[in-house]
Amino acid sequence: MPVQIILGAQWGDEGKGKIVDHLSNRVDIVARYQGGANAGHTVILPGKKGQPDRHFVLHLIPSGIFHKHVACVIGNGVVLDPAALLSEIHQLETSGINVSGRLLISHNAHLIMPYHKALDAAREQGENKIGTTGRGIGPAYIDKYTRTGIRVVDLLDRDVLRRKLKHNIESNNEVLSKIYHKDELNVDKIIAEYQEFDKKIDEYVTDTSDYLIAALRKKKSILAEGAQGALLDVDHGTYPFVTSSNPTSGGACTGLGIPPTSVNSVVGVVKAYSTRVGNGPFPTELTNAIGEQLRKIGSEFGATTGRPRRCGWLDLFSLGYSVRVNGIERLAITKLDVLDGFDEINVCIDYTLDGIPVKHFPTDLQKLERVVPRYRTFKGWKSSTSSLRKFSDLPREARAYLAFIEKHLGTTLWMVSVGARRDQTLFAK
């Protein structure tokens, strides 16, 4: 069965964009299944004839878009911000990447409305700030689950759109009236704006579940691209410091409308260390000079918001949990090159709580905030890996580090990335 899920196994920004782009030359379809423009997936394309590399950050469009033969699907599980989408399409097209005829958007995807972003910002004013990306993700999923959301298909009917809009604005009136000045949140204005969007996105909208199932029947291969990461999953992550969707592998089926029996492999993208952007527990975080060094060498600043990412050592205890929840069989380890200059590299193997070893990864905050990681120390390789093109050429110490991760997690190491560019990718198997 030809569906392969590629997802982030940590707290996002593992390098999914690079890995998905790299693997897209061997698939027919790449499909995003959840999240929205909170994602920032970076893809670097080689410059043409002596020109510098081209740097793209995708927020909604799947990272397979740079391969002309690939159809890109935005599934029903995604919350779609039409303004963000159109700006992304424009950016791609001005760079000569045409999306017409191979971008498909689910008619069932929920729309991000202007007030979702305002509500997102308003919620972040209070206590227990999540540190969201401010893209309106939580409030859009709230509407979806309270069954008042506005879907792409609703853009076709002005009356439905008006009724739903009025209802949603009125039910949030108390908060919205504090944010917007009188008459600023004008229903007619929003309808006009979204109908204009509708005209522009109409050519892409279809029943994507139907499309994918038909493609499966024709034996086409599909790569399901996760956004965010497993530890940000609303059900399985470090709740409440999570996003509002299911980046874990189960989300791919509901978010695309494909059956679980069509999935044949799950690949976890893992950064060779850990990062987290936004608030929430992070047991292996380094708030010292080493953390600073990781941030600097790894250019750890958010691709969507530009915020500095919190950095720390690799955490195999949370990753073990991620491997189990997602059914990850193969690993793509990225940013190995960032560790090139370190004398010693630590890896967290488990946690203790009040001096007692913790048996299971605690997803409740009260425990997770108090755990103490136990580390195993590896000797650094102290040489540059970024120009290496064969796995077997990696320094012995680097291979020992990778072999330990592979064995400890009981998975197969498949790919190793030693730089952001396409050619900086090694296959271990």
Residues annotated as part of the active site: 13, 41
- Considering only 10-18, 179-187, 283-291, 408-416, which stretch makes contact with ligand IMO by CB under 6 A? 10-18
Of 208 and 245, which has the nearer Cβ to ligand IMO?
A: 245
Task: Kindly tell me which of 24 and 334 has the beta carbon lying closer to Mg ion.
Answer: 334
Q: Which partner in Mg ion, ligand IMO, ligand GDP, none is near 38 (CB below 5 to 8 A by kind)?
A: ligand IMO
Number of residues that bind ligand IMO (CB under 6 A): 24
Asked if 232 touches ligand IMO (CB under 6 A), the answer is: yes
HSE-CB at 157 with a 13 A cutoff on CA atoms is 9
In the complex with ligand GDP, the residue whose CB is nearer, 206 or 305, is: 305
* Contact by Cβ (8 Å): 109, 78: yes
In the complex, the residues that contact ligand GDP under the rule CB under 6 A are: 8, 12-18, 40-42, 44, 299, 303, 334-335, 337-338, 417-420
- Closest to ligand GDP by CB, 40 vs 77, is 40
Report the relative pairing of strands 356-357 and 412-417 from DSSP bridges. Answer: unpaired
Q: Tell me the window of 35-43, 78-86, 187-195, 351-359 that interacts with ligand IMO (CB under 6 A).
A: 35-43
| Minimum gap (Å) between residue 201 Cβ and ligand GDP | 24
Closest CB to ligand IMO among 249 and 385?
249
326 belongs to the binding site for ligand IMO (CB under 6 A): no
Among 2, 77, 251, 278, binds ligand IMO (CB under 6 A): 278
Q: Pairing between strand 314-315 and 344-353?
A: parallel
Cα distances (angstroms) measured from residue 118 to each of 13, 176, 317: 25, 8, 37
| Footprint on residues 281-310 left by ligand IMO (CB under 6 A) | 303
* Cα Rg, the chain, nearest whole Å: 22
Q: Which does 208 bind (CB under 5 to 8 A by kind): ligand IMO, Mg ion, ligand GDP, none?
A: none
User: Exposure pattern of 76-90 as b/e (b: 16+ CB <10 Å)?
Assistant: bbbbbbbebbeebbe
CB 347 within 8 A of CB 397: no
395 upstream amide cis, omega within 30 of 0: no
Give the shortest CB-73-to-ligand IMO separation in angstroms.
16
* Residue 12 lies near ligand IMO (rule: CB under 6 A): yes
- 334 touches ligand IMO (CB under 6 A): no
- Closest approach of ligand GDP to the CB of residue 337, in Å: 5
Minimum separation from the CB atom of position 380 to ligand GDP (A)? 16
Which of ligand IMO, Mg ion, ligand GDP, none does residue 278 bind (CB under 5 to 8 Å by kind)?
ligand IMO
Look at residue 420 and give the partner it binds from Mg ion, ligand IMO, ligand GDP, none, a contact being a CB closer than 5 to 8 Å depending on partner kind. Answer: ligand GDP
- Shortest approach of ligand IMO to residue 131 CB, angstroms? 5
Minimum distance, C-beta of residue 379 to ligand IMO, in the bound complex (Å): 30
Task: Point out the residue whose Cβ comes nearest to ligand IMO.
Answer: 278
Name the one range near ligand IMO by CB under 6 A: 36-44, 95-103, 151-159, 180-188.
Answer: 36-44
Contacting residues toward ligand IMO, per CB under 6 A: 8, 11-13, 38-41, 130-133, 135, 137-138, 227-229, 232, 243-244, 277-278, 303
